[in-house]
Structure 1
Amino acid sequence: MSEVQESKSFLRKHWEGYKEFWGERFSFLDNYSRFLYPEKPLPHWDSSVVEEFIASDPIHGPTLKTAREATKFGVVGAVVGAVSTAGYAWKWSRSPHGAALSFAFGAAVGGTFGLEIANHWYQLYRLDTMASQVKFYEWLQKRA
């Protein structure tokens, strides 16, 4: 064996094997590296830039607009879930930490239900929302 491998610690050898093992199984995540680690950072954008993209792209623009409208359902669901569960927890236990945990759990569950309602309301299952978001990302990079 080479001196380099012999000089590695027991933990270092196992950690490298662990990383290699899981790296092979999650190699599909490399497809997202251009979004997670871009060559240059995206410029600042706001809703007016999104509206400009929606107006300029007749295929992916309406899909992105629908997906943005669907987020309102998720926000409303999260607020309703958080306030109602925290309210019940406070009413019946008068426990601040229980109310705080109920608030967080209610926000997560309510937001999930809100997004499910939006999925059916806007029939998002028929649309490819990820493709429209990727096109917006690419458009934003080209624009910069």
Structure 2
Amino acid sequence: MSNYSNFIKRDKPLTSWSNSDVEDFIASDPVHGPVLKTAREAVQYGLTGSALGALFTAGAGLSFLAGGVFGWTFGHEIANHTLQLYRVDTLASEAKFLEWWKRKTEGGH
């Protein structure tokens, strides 16, 4: 959480960003850009797993929810191994993106 302390404890939240803003960061930062891109790809694994888990356990509302949670977890683990997320510091890259976004939108230092 120390990586995010400058962005969490703010009087005024950061402005929203779009996918194209994230793509601009990825293209501009040769170190953290590829890591952030990989982390974003991992989210797709989680979303797909969540949808499949919910679909296959559909029935009662609770089983639908449990299937979604299980699918998200399973999808995230697949992404972790497939994309080798355990080798990179995704939190540091996300924090670098937030720093970049703050400078871009607020003209910070």
Q: TM-score, normalised by structure 1?
A: 0.69
In the TM superposition, residue 36 of structure 1 has moved relative to its aligned partner by 1.8
Give the aligned length: 104
Matched with 2:20 is 48
Task: Report the identity percentage.
Answer: 56
Alignment correspondent of 1:104: 65
Matches of residues 86-125 of structure 1 in structure 2 within 5 Å? Answer: 86=58, 90=59, 99-125=60-86
Which aligned pairs between 1:32-71 and structure 2 lie closer than 5 A? Answer: 32-71=4-43
TM-fit CA distance, 1:52:
0.2
1:141 equivalent in structure 2: 102
Q: Does 1:81 align with 2:53?
A: yes
Deviations 1:41-85 (A, max 9, x none): 211211000000000000000000000011110000000101101
Match of 1:126 in 2: 87
Gaps of 5+ in 1: 1-28, 91-98
Q: Aligned equivalents of 1:81 and 1:143: distance in 2? A: 39
The structure with the largest helix share of the pair is 1
What is the aligned-residue RMSD (CA, Å)?
1.3
Give the residue type in structure 1 aligned to 2:32.
Answer: H
CA distance in 1, matches of 2:12, 2:31: 27
Q: Residue 39 of structure 1: CA displacement?
A: 4.1
| TM, length-normalised to structure 2 | 0.89
What displacement does 1:33 show? 3.5
* Alpha-carbon distance between aligned partners in 1 of 2:5 and 2:25, rounded to the nearest angstrom: 23
CA 1:85–1:121: 2 relative to 1, 3 Å: same
Contact 2:32 2:96 in 1 (8 A): yes
Deviation for aligned residue 1:38? 1.9
2:43/2:76 contact within 8 Å kept: yes
